[in-house]
Structure 1
Amino acid sequence: MVFVLLTSCENESVRQQAKIGTLAQSSNTTTTSSNRVTQAVEKIATGETIYVPIYPKIYHLENQTLDLTAALSIRNTDLENPIILTSVRYYDSNGKLVKQYIDCAKKLDPLASIDFLAVNTRQAKGIGTSFIIEWVAEKNVNPPILEGVMLSTVSTQGISFTSVGRVIQNSNPVSVKLCQ
């Protein structure tokens, strides 16, 4: 049996190695070196990797930009089954990782939602930042809705709009560990 181990690590490369590395376990519950208790989820039926464009600023007038507040909204649309978020990453316009938002897999209950605020949007270079989200589920589920929500309320003007996430890869069925 193959498990993907997600733990909190000091170094991003160590975290990524732990995520993609395999670990054979005979038990459903383990304690990691950081004393984080994890629970194995053994049967993964479906999952996806989703790209969500984020616009930390937009152009207005000639060569001027307007800074926006940007957030990611993830909504589980399934009426009966949870989904499991295995990775939420924010990238700058050059494709460089800015922030990893979760250190271990997180369960999102039926009809629940969660939001993540994009960090450092005022310092973001260009307008092409993005989130990459990976999720899985133990049963076939309605796919979640993932949207970028951008807004600004500068002076007396208000602007808001959304961007829709797109599936860029279907996940292969693997096992994951949930942190408790």
Structure 2
Amino acid sequence: MADGTATRSGLLDTARRAAESVADPEMPMLTLADLGVLRGVDLAGDGTVTATITPTYSGCPAMAAMRDDLVARLRDHGFPAVRVRVSLHPAWSSDWITPRGRRALAEHGLSAPGPAPHRGGPVPLTLLPVRRDLACPRCGARDTEPVSEFGPTACTALYRCASCLEPFQHVKEV
């Protein structure tokens, strides 16, 4: 391998590690990589780093913060030219949350999503509450009840455990 190729490979690895370490602004126990929104990191011949992200949903208000945090982190790691590209295809799925990310959610008292519904087609819009069979992230009991389909973020729903009486957030399946 030529020396320039080795250097480029090392720079790309540094850029990837830096981008993969950026925390999600709404759920800071997760990195963008853990959440599955960081889709790729590329290094152009002129040294420009392009990070590609996919929003959890099209109206996600955290996208600007994700972009700004990625740019700042990559610049802090010595990459002055940074571009963040948004990719909408394929659409993000909660199935992309890594096992490490799912553990981090549970460790912080959030219920991780189950398998995404309706793979291969659109998710039907319904105004009725979504029935989920959840385990409480605190005590493990399955006797849970919905409080609200909307939590502090649009990506979460609020539940309460009937056994330990603790409220918890559930990250929605998409």
Query: Do they fold alike, i.e. is TM over 0.5?
Result: no
* TM-score bucket (shorter structure): under 0.3
TM-score using structure 1 length = 0.26
Which structure carries more strand by proportion?
1
For the pair shown, the structure with the greater C-alpha radius of gyration is 2
Greater helix content = 2
